[in-house]
Amino acid sequence: MTGPAEPLAGVRVVELADGWAAHCGRILADLGADVVKVEPSSGDSARARPPFIADRPGADRSLWWIALNANKRGVTLDLAHPAGPRVLRRLVERADVLIEAYEPGTLEARGLGADVLSSWNERLIHTSITPYGSDGPLAHAPASDLEVTASSGALALAGEPGQRPLRTTLPQSPFWAGMYGAMGTLFAYLAREASGRGQRVDTSAQASMVTVTPPATVHWDVGHEEHKRLGPFLLGRSIVGARFRNIWRCRDGYVSFAIQGGAIGRHTGKMLLEWMRTRGEPPAVVAQIESDGFDNTTLRQDEVERIEAAIAPFFEGLTKREFFDGVVARNMLGYPVSTVADVEADPQLAARDFWQEVEVPAAGRSVAFPGGFALFDGERPRIHRPAPRLGEHNDEVYVRELAIEARDMEATRMAEAVA
Amino acid sequence: MTQVAASPSVRSGAPQALSGIRVVEIGFAAAGPLVGKYLADHGAEVIKLESRRAPDVFRSTYPPFKDNLPGPDRAGMFAFYNVGKRGVTLDLKHPKGLELARALIAKSDVLIESFPAGTMARRGLDHATLSALNPGLVMLSSCNQGQTGPHAQHPGYGSQLTALAGFTHLLGERDENPVILYGPYIDYIAVGYGVIAILAALARRKATGKGCYIDLSQYEAGLQFMAPAILEHRVNGTVPSRGGDHDPVAVPHGVYRARGEDRWVALSVWDDAEWTRFREALDDPEWTRRASWATAAGRRADESKIDALVEQWTATRTRDEIVDALRSRGLRAAPVVTIAELASDPQLVSRGYFRALPHPVLNIVQCLASPFTLSGTPSRQERAGPLLGADNDLVFGKILGIGDEERATLAADGVFV
């Protein structure tokens, strides 16, 4: 019987190709599925993605690769080799899920189209994750994180007004696309319980990134107001069009805070005033945010700016840490703009035993990874194994589990340069 | 009530992934309710419990409202985030209200709640009580920081939690101030993981008969998307920071001004062969022929020079001209789509991603389907978020089997407030 934190134990997943698929497989693997990552003989392209351990490139040294492929087994397979499809068939016949990220039409061209795959295994759930989905005018348009983010509307919402739109330095769309790919896969898995048949899950990275653009889409649709990038400011809290500052300078960086309405916003206002008074009487203009009748939705822009100008010096006198401790102690809204170093020092994450030490052979030591994404009956999904070395499980999977014939094993050989 | 008559009591069409699954949702804003929305997309009957006394903040304090006049049934945000649900009102502080909530949860498969830790227990709706009534119950508690730990009770909004989790620090020009990641970014991550957790727990329930209690910290869910940056610091001791639109591999890689007001194009060149095709796309102007730029290292060394020259080329051309020239050579390029353009984006429209759904007050609300399509059991969106209490008769009458007379008595007693 499977434990609560391994709800997908017994589910077999084959993850083919690189790029957009990795995070999808990682999620299913974290939940207990057996995920076999199938790499080309030269290795997955993500192995070449910086940053590297000690900044030295190497097939097992990419921290991007290491993060996205933990908990998977790894095999190599050259699909262009005459025996490649035969070996793939053996993997697919016993699988519940195939995840792939090829340009639409690539598998078909190799005689491995959806019809062929489902003829091998009618229970197979075939999940594809591509920049724009497998149909429509852009089905074949190549794109990386930057272009997908641009196509989703999300890029237009980040940056200073009128200036260059910006993306998060750590690419985000591979995570979004992978997460929705995993969600779609699980819907299909539950549907199979009733129907006995698998289906296609066709995931678009562009559409996945569109999910981060609301409420802007709602303001455009219902309010006929177009949101654009506003640097540190928030729109959409006002019925008179005012914008509110959400990033403020503090002594050693920045904090995130906004003048808010509603019960919790008013509580926050009261607490802020109380806090400010410990360092001297705040300017009179701020006092209105602690009144019971305070309503941020009707505040005019000039009023907002006067209040914000009066609050700013208070935050400039606090460190991130002091601000964080202060908002938690007062149960008010607001958080520091943390670096990853700040995140690692957060006592809440330690108290919940979030971090998990994982041996990373290429680093020669264990490293504390972000732990499982939720607790299931109090148990956190575990990382059982680090990302695989190239072809690490060829013998285990091909020889011991599948007993692939010797003549077909040629298709699983690693390229000499990387082996 | 007319709203009940307008919404069919049985979902139409072929079976879906979650046909036969009943979900109760007690939540507000985005993080809880969007979980319910995805389950409804795929066939679950999702019943949202609300109270007139403390309506969802998306009904009360968040614009836009119909004609800019606030009102619980005039709120665009609520309509958008609660697609496909039944709406009922119930006073959980009334003993009879609590009893009805428990009865409804006892007849359900999934419970979603998104209050700060401890709130459900204070209301008599903790997991221990509910799982005693319904051992197969899958319950998701999604809150800011999780159910345990020193910050468990700390309230927060997604826009600020996004900063706490380290995302905001990574967004901005190099050495300049950070800018906001629009909206409740991290909430949406928690939504995805929340749905995934519920689906995985339902799969396990099929095999074992056991329910599950899922404690989801929106913060911890968000940190999954930060993993490579965290490992970079853990292993190399460097603190990743914002770096504009640059990339450690591709040069050029950026967003460049195109012809027109506030018009931009994103493009990237990933290797030497692509650089050659990029030169062709530009008709091989003199400046691209510099020998050192034929290699990645040479392009990296002169990145800002190349960026400026690329922008000279883009600035006099429309986004479509630029993107067509690059895509036709197999290169990566895309217009920076504005929010006003998004709803008519040909690719998204072609894939049926936008759904114009009826709403009794807002008339039509543009909603989203799921970002993936399922060939066998497609998602369905039939109506925007419910009016407050729209489905009281259906849920309390048909599902709980309370007769008209008793419902009238309960209503008079303030149970359905």
pLDDT digit string, tens, across residues A9-28? 999 999 997 789 999 999 99
**Chain A residues in contact with B334 (beta carbon < 8 A):** 141, 143, 146-148, 150-151
pLDDT at A17: 75
Query: Which residues in chain B are closer than 8 Å to A24, comparing Cβ atoms?
Result: none
pLDDT higher than threshold 50 for residue A418: no
Over range A252-260, report the average pLDDT: 95
Q: State what percent of residues in chain B have pLDDT above 70.
A: 97
Considering only CB atoms, which chain A residues are within 8 Å of B149?
347-349, 351-352
pLDDT tens column, A278-316: 999 999 899 888 888 888 888 899 999 999 999 999 999
**Residue B230 within any structural domain of the chain:** no
Q: For A8-22, A321-335, A380-394, which range has the lowest pLDDT when averaged over its residues?
A: A8-22
Phi-psi region of B57 (alpha: psi -120 to 50; beta: other; left: phi over 0): alpha
Q: CATH no. for residue B140?
A: 3.40.50.10540
Give the distance from residue B68's alpha carbon to the nearest chain A alpha carbon, in angstroms: 6
- Among the listed residues B41, B56, B73, B187, the single catalytic one is B187
Q: How many CB pairs under 8 A join A and B?
A: 531
| B6: pLDDT strictly greater than 50 | no
Task: Tell which wins on pLDDT, B12 or B92.
Answer: B92
Residues B305 and B329 in one domain: yes
In a domain, B343, yes or no: no
Distance from CA of B412 to the nearest CA of A (A): 28
Whether A236 contacts A258, CB under 8 Å: no
- Residue A414 pLDDT > 80, yes or no? no
Note whether B264 and B383 are same-domain residues. Answer: no
**Which residue has 């099929």 as its token pair?**
B206
Q: Determine, for residues B262 and A228 on separate chains, whether the beta-carbon distance falls below 8 Å.
A: yes
Instruction: Tell me whether residues A133 and B157 touch, CB distance under 8 A.
Output: no
Kindly state whether B315 is in contact with chain A, defined as any CB-CB distance less than 8 angstroms. no
When computed from its CA atoms, the radius of gyration of chain B, rounded to whole angstroms, is 26
Contact A210 B353 (CB under 8 A): yes
Distance CA A229, CA A150 (A): 13
Confidence label for A1 from pLDDT (cuts 50, 70 and 90): low
| B268 and B190 assigned to the same domain | no
Considering B337, B364, B381, which residue would you say is the last residue of a domain?
A: B337
Cα–Cα distance, A136 to A104 (Å, whole number) = 11
Least Cα separation, residue A399 to chain B (angstroms): 30
Nearest residue of chain B to residue A9 (CA atoms): B204
Judge: A186–B196 Cβ closer than 8 Å, yes or no: yes
Mean pLDDT of A321-335: 97
The answer to whether position B231 is within a domain reads no
* A51–B373 C-beta distance less than 8 A: no
- Tell whether the model's pLDDT for residue A264 goes beyond 90: no
Question: Are residue B211 and residue B264 in the same domain, yes or no?
Answer: no
Nearest CA in chain B to A328: B154
Query: pLDDT digit string (tens) for B176-233?
Result: 999 999 999 999 999 999 999 999 999 999 999 999 999 999 999 999 999 999 999 9
Mutate to test the interface with A, among B224, B238, B344 (most CBs of A within 10 A): B224
So what's the pLDDT on residue B84? 97
Residue A185 has pLDDT above 60, yes or no: yes
Same domain, B131 and B7: yes
Summarised one tens digit per residue, pLDDT across range B272-304 is 999 999 999 999 999 999 999 999 999 999 999
Residues of chain B contacting residue A133, judged by C-beta atoms under 8 Å apart: 347, 351, 373
pTM score of the predicted model: 0.97
Q: Please tell me the distance in Å from A198's CA to the nearest CA on chain B.
A: 8
Sequence spans of domains, chain A: 12-211+352-412, 229-341
Shared-domain flag, residues B124 and B220: yes
Cα gap A314→B154, rounded to integer Å: 22
Which residues on chain A are in Cβ contact (under 8 Å) with B248? 49-51
Q: Do the beta carbons of residue B75 and residue B104 sit within 8 Å?
A: no
**CATH for A12-211+352-412?**
3.40.50.10540
- B234 domain residue, yes or no: no
Residues B267 and B388 grouped into a single domain = no
Q: What is the pLDDT of residues A41-65, one digit of tens each?
A: 999 999 999 999 999 999 999 999 9
Is there a single domain that holds both residue B56 and residue B111? yes
B window 352-381, beta carbon within 8 A of A: 353, 362, 365-366, 368, 370-377
State pLDDT tens for residues A114-167: 999 999 999 999 999 999 999 999 999 999 999 999 999 999 999 999 999 999
pLDDT score of A417 more than 50: no
Whether residue B33 is found in the same domain as residue B74? yes
Q: Measure CB to CB from residue B368 to each of A10, A210, A360 and give the nearest one.
A: A210
Residues in chain B with CB shorter than 8 Å from the CB of A55 are 236
Query: Which residues of B fall within a CB distance of 8 Å from A328?
Result: 150-151, 154
Query: Which residues of chain B have a CB within 8 Å of the CB of A156?
Result: 264, 336-339
Q: Is 70 exceeded by the pLDDT of residue B124?
A: yes
CA distance, residue B338 to nearest chain A CA (Å): 5
Final residue of a structural domain among B314, B337, B360 = B337
Chain A residues inside the 8 Å CB shell of B157: 260, 333
Q: How confident is the model at residue B3 (pLDDT cuts 50, 70, 90)?
A: very low
Q: How many angstroms separate the CA of residue B267 from the nearest CA in chain A?
A: 7
- Cα A376 to Cα B106: distance, rounded to the nearest angstrom: 20
- At B277, which CATH number? 3.30.1540.10
Q: If we measure between CA atoms, which residue out of B314, B316, B320 comes closest to residue B278?
A: B314
CB–CB contact B163 A376 (8 Å):
no
Same domain, B388 and B288: no
Shortest Cα distance from B2 to chain A (angstroms)? 23
Indicate yes or no: CB of A148 within 8 angstroms of CB of B334: yes
Interchain CB distance below 8 Å, B167 and A168: yes
Q: Which regions of A158-264 does DSSP assign to beta strands (E)? A: 200-204, 233-234, 244-245, 247-250, 253-256
For the cut 80, the answer to whether the pLDDT of residue B13 exceeds it is no
Residue type, B358: P
Give the tens place of pLDDT for each residue, B312-337. Answer: 999 999 999 999 999 999 999 999 99
Mean pLDDT of A71-93: 96
C-alpha A90/C-alpha A408 separation (Å) is 11
Residue A416 scores a pLDDT above 70: no
In a domain, B400, yes or no: yes
User: Cβ contact (<8 Å) for A214 and B183?
Assistant: yes
pLDDT of residue B216: 98
Does the annotation mark B91 as catalytic?
no
DSSP element (H, E) containing B110: strand B110-113
Instruction: Answer yes or no: is pLDDT of A415 > 90.
Output: no
Task: Give the pairing type, strands A200-204 and A125-130.
Answer: parallel
* Residues on chain B touching A229 (C-beta within 8 angstroms): 179, 182
pLDDT of residue B194: 98
Assigned domain for B265 exists: yes
Q: B34 exposed, middle or buried (CB, 10 Å; 0-12, 13-18, 19+)?
A: buried
Q: pLDDT tens for residues B27-47? A: 999 999 999 999 999 999 999
Show the domain range for B272. Answer: 253-337
Same domain, B53 and B154: yes
d(CA A178, CA A26): 9
In this prediction, residue A316 carries a pLDDT of: 98
Residue B248 in domain: no
Residue B50 lies in a domain: yes
Could B57 and A187 be called an inter-chain contact, meaning their C-beta atoms sit closer than 8 Å?
A: no
pLDDT of residue B12: 57
Could A367 and B234 be called an inter-chain contact, meaning their C-beta atoms sit closer than 8 Å? yes
- Residue in A89, A29, A227, A39 with CA at minimum distance from that of residue B196: A29
Q: What is the mean pLDDT of chain B?
A: 95
Residue A83 Cα, gap to closest chain B Cα (Å):
30
Determine which of A68-77, A338-347, B151-160, B384-393 has the lowest per-residue pLDDT on average. B151-160
Of A7, A50, A371, the CB nearest to B249: A50
Average pLDDT, chain A: 95
* Structural domains of chain B, count: 2
Q: Say which of A31, A142, A200 has its CB closest to residue B332.
A: A142
| C-beta atoms of A143 and B224 within 8 A | no
pLDDT bucket at B2, cuts 50 / 70 / 90:
very low
Question: Tokens 């700040």 identify what position?
Answer: A342
pLDDT band of B7, cuts 50, 70, 90? very low
B224 touches chain A (CB under 8 A): yes
Q: Does residue B5 surpass a pLDDT of 70?
A: no
Q: Strands B264-268, B332-335: parallel, antiparallel or unpaired by DSSP?
A: antiparallel
DSSP assignment of B301-364: HTHHHHHHHHHHHHTTS-HHHHHHHHHTTT-EEEE---HHHHTT-HHHHHTT-EEEEEETTTEE
Give ∠ CA A203-B266-B274 in degrees, rounded to 5. 90
Q: State whether B322 and B379 are in the same domain.
A: no
Of 3.40.50, 3.30.1540, 3.30.70, 1.10.3470, the CATH number of A229-341 is 3.30.1540
